[in-house]
Chain A
Amino acid sequence: MRQKTPKIKNFKFLSHTADVKFQAFGKSLEEAFDNSTLALTNIICDDQIKGLKRIDIKVNGNDLESLLYNFLEEVIYVLETKGFLLDKVKKIKINKEKFRLEAELAGDKVKNYELSGHVKAITYNDMFVKHDKKKKQWICQVVVDV
């Protein structure tokens, strides 16, 4: 098995002593959230995941950070409790005022894959969600406990 580096440039991993830290980017908040899940999946599985199954999720937060935290936690939750391994986010809608998110996830049964990493929890450590006006992009930064 080959140890790969991320294929896609819409997120990047940063150095962190014990845990995994990443930044994800997007022209819209939705895209940045979507790319955050790609970074997360990149930690968990090296293989190409098939998007055969669909599930809908709804998440609430009190601010953008907690919305992102709860969104990513839901990805871990469906993995551990339903055996659903995320391939990609098919649809995502965020209400920035009320901090509500609805998404349709595509993925596959986890037992069909050999996983390469484990995410214990999402953390608030160094987390931010912000809009870079100069670059006209949203940035999400997350440290996950692995």
Chain B
Amino acid sequence: MNGFLHQVIAGIATGGIYASVALALVMIYQATHHVNFAQGEMATFSTYIALTLVNAGWPFWLAFLATVAISFCLGVMIERVLMRPVANASVLTHVGVFIGLVLVVSNLTGWVFDYTVKPFPTPFHDGPLLGGLISGHELGSTAVTLVVLGLVFLFFRYTRLGLAMRAAAYNPASARLVGVRVGWMLALGWGLAAAIGAIAGIMVAPVVFLEPNMMLGILLYAFAGALLGGIDNPGGAVIGGFAVGVIENLGGTYIVGTELKLTLALVIIIGVLLVRPAGLFGRVVLSRV
């Protein structure tokens, strides 16, 4: 029983990471209508930057903030340089550019920081808490995730800039007419996504260890979470992300074994699409062809 409870709590902790990436997917989708496939790879790259800074003697939280800032700038830059020229091209072109980005960033990461698996420090007291139910890092990373989710929600809901970003995505022409700089809103969205990705990367790295393909599975779990919760519902995406974390951990322990964990993401995605395509909390769109 204690083992079961531990698996559930560990699932919630990893679920927090999926939730933040799922939220990034949904929010950024709402703000830019892009789903960046290279998000995971970019986050891994950012995590390596953080590790480099920490190894250079920076205090952890300073390195954390610096990494988030650097990632934000990189995200903005990528939008300006790569996405802007193809803004009006087809979705296929976008997917192509994303795939190109995945190839470039993941190989660049391996090239610059080499392919060996590296341990990553945790800023939290790393020992069992609550009688061994949860580790300090799990508790800490869940808290960080929740704070980030809250901040992102407040930003989009209550600030002028957040409103402008939503407007730019919802109706670019009208947004431009009332003075929103639509192009820069997209760039900001990319920057935000990269920053959130960096935070997720730093929080997950102490658990899974740092290597160039660290985030590959995480993006898929996050996507499964976003679909489960409802792809157009930020709150749903968060709950979906947590749920996928728990399902993954329980399924991996009791049903399919660790070898088939990634397949679980696929099963969830296809299952949701077949049974309830709008997700648990999504709006049912009647016809969109």
Say whether A and B bind each other. no
Seen from chain B, the residues whose Cβ lies within 8 Å of a Cβ on chain A are none
